[in-house]
Structure formats: C-alpha cells, structure tokens
Amino acid sequence: MPAAAFASAFASPPPPWAPRPPPRHASLRLPPPRSSSNNSGGGGGDKPTTSWVSPDWLTSLSRSVLGRGNDDSGIPVASAKLDDVQDLLGGALFLPLFKWFREEGPVYRLAAGPRDFVIVSDPAVAKHVLRGYGTRYEKGLVAEVSEFLFGSGFAIAEGALWTVRRRAVVPSLHKRFLSVMVDKVFCKCAERLVEKLETYALSGEPVNMEARFSQMTLDVIGLSLFNYNFDSLTSDSPVIDAVYTALKEAEARSTDLLPYWQIDLLCKIVPRQIKAEKAVNTIRNTVEDLITKCKAIVDAENEQIEGEEYVNEADPSILRFLLASREEVSSLQLRDDLLSMLVAGHETTGSVLTWTIYLLSKDPVALRKAQDEVDRVLQGRLPRYEDVKELKYLMRCINESMRLYPHPPVIPCASDKQLQS
C-alpha cells in the first residue's frame, strides 16, 4: 500500500472527550521512581540522562542531504526540536508525542537528527503494521538499543524466533490462569494501591499516578510471572531500581548521535554504560535465581502439564507453567523471554492506566458513567475475570486510552522506498 494511502486510509480525528495536551511544565506523567529515595514520595524526579542527542541543525542537514524533506509519501512530518528530544530521555515521554499526535494526526513522521521514524497511534494502523510483521516491517532501532537488556527475548525477537517463542509462551495465558490471577494477584495489588492512595486523598496532596500504577503493575507481573512479590508499592528493592535504570538507558540510546555503546572498550569506562551493565546483571541474576529455584521444585515433584488450562494451585505463575511443560529451550532463552515480559510489560500497562484516569478526570460525564457501571456490575464486591465482558463502557475508555497513549510501533525508515513499498 502506498504510504499516502496508508496514512489517509486510517486517519481519524480524536474523540470529543480527548483533552488537549497538557502544558510543557505539567507533571502528570513523570518517570517512575528510579531510586529508593523517591519511593515514598510522588514518583520520579530524576533529570534526563545526558545523551549525545541530535541537534536541530543535524535534523535539517539530514533532511537536505538524504532528501527526507522532499518525499511524496503524504505522511505529515513533525520535526523534533532539541528540547523535545530531551523530553524523551527518561522524562515526560507522552508530552511531545501527544502534541504531534494532536497536530499531525494518528500517523506522522518524526525526523530527529540522522534518524527518521513513522509514529502510529491508532489501533487500525497498529493492526495493519502487526499483521504485516515479519514481511514488511521490522523492529529496527527498538531491537538495536534494547538488545543489551532483552537478549534474544521475544520483546525484540523477529522472524522465525519471534514466532516460535510467542507460540511457546501464549499457552500459559489461558482463561483459567487469568481467572486465578484476577482473584489472587490483580485484586490484591489493586487493594494495596488504594491503601497507598488513601493518605493522599485525605490530605489533598498531589500524587504521581503513573509512578504508582507502574509500581503496582510491576508487583502484578512479578507475582504472575515468578510467584515473586517485588512489593514495590511499600518497599525499596535494587531490582526495581535496576529495571528503571535499564529502561532509561534504552531510551537514551535511541537518541544517541553515535552508537558508541557498541564499542566494548567504551562500555567499560563510560560511567553511564557501567551503570547500565550493573543494572542488567542485577535483573538477569534475579531472574536466573528464580528460574533455578522453581525448576528444582518442578523436578523434585516431577510436575507435568495436565490439560490445556493447567494451573498449579500453590504456584500458578507463568514460570511454573513453562517449566512443567518440559519445553526444550535453553535456560538463557527462557530467562530472556521472562525478562521481556517483566520489563517491557509493566511500564506500558501502567501508562495506559494513567491515561485512562487522566481522560476520565477531564470528563465528569464519562467518569460518572464509568463509576455507575462499576457499581452496577460489581455491587460492592471485588471483580472477577468474568466481569470484564460486563464492564463494556469502562473497557471502551481503556481502549480509547490505548489509542491516545503514544506507545505505538515505531518503524525506522531506511529510505522513502521503504515507506512506499
């Protein structure tokens, strides 16, 4: 499909209840706490990591030399300014991306220095991209800057490896597993979050909801994946700090002018790279230790999968399911797959929850309608997995948040021919 048709076929205006982007000084979305000193407060306040960002003159030069300013794709171009790029470095990611989404629409090109991207923020476009995955699109820069963290995990895997690993993991996410998780994990973690927020509600003190949602989802994924409680809502952990250090490094690498981190010698002497390597080692050692302990239990009990929706009642984790399935896979591959779910899964979920709360807070009618639906369906009790299909309006709000939240596939463009293929 030509790029012009690709852009126009899916273009859709934002819904009436979608807010205008917050001012650049807004503190709605700050990075999650990246050090234990911030864990008791309102969330991350770290300044962006110093990076070899792409200045405005380099953006202009690359567009002139490479002809990026003269393409006939029809896709709007949102050129990044230096301040905008710096906002992407461990800071308020959604501010510049949402601004361009409102200005340019759900499909636009982002030119930043020598790099050129197509950003999509619409479910129909994302579906088009993902269905053509492996034949027309590739993860490109995302995989390049994240390999140090995810290894060969399916978060950045492509082609045959991605297909094989996805098929290996998906069976563990069956209906019975989700039902057990809602009861044993999701509700309990949500209750802990509510308890945490009560103090702020009583005092009227502002709270960084993205930081809190991110902590909650990290606890949820820790229990769902490993049957391990990070307890990040109430305690400090070197693993939690390591996760955000690694994510921050991946963000910084995506805007580095030169990929100096590909040179082994520099990685051993540059403080930022030394810190990133220590963080990754902390995460990997933790995951490997959890795998070793769980494998010893599974082997001692000679546990095996019984039925398509098998769940170990004592430990219903995904790790337990994968080990009991006796799949022939290396320990490193299993580690990288689980690490992919741990690190990549919680931040995106926390951000969508933040957007949902933000959008509802800007529309009293929608907020009341969502609350009435929750009261009608749950009638004062804790939710069950079966309730999801009854919460139709709330799910619409969440889906709309996922459309607006600019955490879409980011497709590096090697040339205009790739755009038009």
- The reported pTM is 0.72
Residue 19 has pLDDT above 50, yes or no: no
Residue 273 has pLDDT above 90, yes or no: yes
Q: Which residue(s) pair with 110 in the sheet?
A: 78, 117
Residue 235 has pLDDT above 60, yes or no: yes
Q: Please, are residues 150 and 263 in contact by the beta-carbon 8 Å criterion? A: no
Section 379-402 average pLDDT: 88
Q: Which residues contact 123 (CB under 8 A, 6 or more apart)?
A: 399, 402, 403
d(CA 265, CA 383): 53
Section 102-126 average pLDDT: 76
pLDDT tens, 405-415?
544 333 333 33
Of 211, 217, 210, 232, nearest in space to 356 by CA: 210
What is the overall mean pLDDT for the chain?
76
DSSP-derived letter for residue 78 is: E
φ, ψ for residue 343 (rounded to 5)?
-80, -45
Of the ranges 45-59, 145-159, 345-359, which one carries the lowest mean pLDDT score? 45-59
DSSP-derived letter for residue 149 is: H
Q: Which residues contact 158 (CB under 8 A, 6 or more apart)?
A: 134, 138, 139, 143
Helix (H) or strand (E) holding 278: helix 271-301
Percent of the chain with pLDDT over 70: 71
d(CA 389, CA 368): 19
Give the per-residue pLDDT at 222: 92
d(CA 45, CA 27): 10
- Give the domains, in start order, of the chain with CATH numbers: 56-148 (no CATH), 168-415 (1.10.630.10)
**Matching residue, tokens 């949820």:** 220
HSE value, Cβ hemisphere, 13 Å, CA-based, for 335: 18
Section 328-356 average pLDDT: 86
Give the per-residue pLDDT at 405: 56
